[in-house]
Structure 1
Amino acid sequence: MTIAIGNDHAGYALKVKLMEMLKDKYEFTDYGCYSTERYDYPDAAEAVANAIVAGKHERGILICGSGIGISIAANKVPGIRAAACQSHFAAKYCRLHNDANILCLGERITGPGEAAEMVEVWLEGELEGGRHLGRIEKIHAIEAKHSK
């Protein structure tokens, strides 16, 4: 599995720690930013989301201060299901039930140890199928209807 990872300035330190954790188990590409100098989260969100819908990566991780703004921006790209998660439970079930293809984290909310655990459970998770498939199809239908 390949992963696209990106952040704004408020998520830089957590991204560096997560990349250190990921490097031995996963292949990933860093879509920036590369410092704590101001960088707008929509730019990182769009870069990672575009890489996923283009098929360059199966999943993405985005990090900003709260995880919320970057998830909103990523979800504007058709085909993206970005979930802002603040707990192990949310990270696990956004994969199992919602087939989230981007995990969004907040450096100002989630510590590095907890974030690493959330990333791991999210990366290991697979869509359960069943009743969840119909719900995901409804999400796709809403997206298609509003993209015209």
Structure 2
Amino acid sequence: MKIAIGNDHAGTEYKLAILGLLKSKGIEVLNYGTDGTDSVDYPDFIHPVASDIENDEVSFGIIVCGSGNGASMTANKHQKVRCALCWNKEIVELARQHNDANILSLPARYISLPQALNMVDVFLDTSFEGGRHERRIEKIPCV
């Protein structure tokens, strides 16, 4: 499995911890995020993650910014991307089961680091249920 990760300055601490978690699981990671805390423009770090999904170069993406909103809006502009902004593990589970989310957006300023790591685990361990959810996914246009 290969995962792309991107973050802005608000998500650096979380990104570094998530990188450690993913590497401990033997997952290959493409790191597009900043490693600093100086203010940066999140689209510069999110577009490469979404492009990797769009081009079938990675299995999943994880993006982190302060609220998670700007990052998820940016990612969802790309074809084939189903990015879910999540704030607890139950939402993560539903995003995977019902929406086949392929990018997880985390709001670093609104969840704890342990929560974020748990949410990444849930994201990776939860499968898409298909069935009635499949026809709903097919109604989301990819323009």
TM-score by length of 1: 0.92
The answer to whether the aligner puts 1:80 opposite 2:81 as a matched pair is: yes
Unaligned residue ranges in structure 2 (runs of 5+)? none
Task: Give 1:126 deviation, angstroms.
Answer: 1.1
Runs of 4+ in 1 over 3 A off after TM superposition: none
| Alignment-derived partner of residue 15 in structure 1 | 15
Instruction: Verify: 1:115 aligned to 2:116, yes or no.
Output: yes
Structure 2 partner of 1:42 = 43
- SS of equivalent to 2:58: coil
Residue by residue over 1:21-78, the C-alpha shift from the partner in whole angstroms, topping out at 9 and shown as x without a partner, is 1111121110121211121111111110001111211100000001111000100011
- Contact kept in structure 2, 1:18 and 1:112, CA below 8 Å: no
In 1, distance between residues paired with 2:48 and 2:36? Answer: 17
Opposite residue 124 of structure 1, the aligned amino acid is D
Identity %: 45
- Once the two structures are TM-superposed, the CA of residue 118 in structure 1 deviates from its matched residue by 0.5
- 1:93 aligns with 94
Determine whether 1:51 maps to 2:89.
no
For these two proteins, the number of residue pairs brought into alignment is 142
- Counterpart amino acid of 2:118? E
TM-score by length of 2: 0.96
**2:33 maps to amino acid:** G
Matched, 1:32 2:33: yes
Structure 1: stretches of 5+ with no match in the other structure: none
Q: Which moved more, 1:48-57 or 1:130-139?
A: 48-57
Q: Report the equivalent of 1:138.
A: 139
The SS at the match of 1:57 is coil
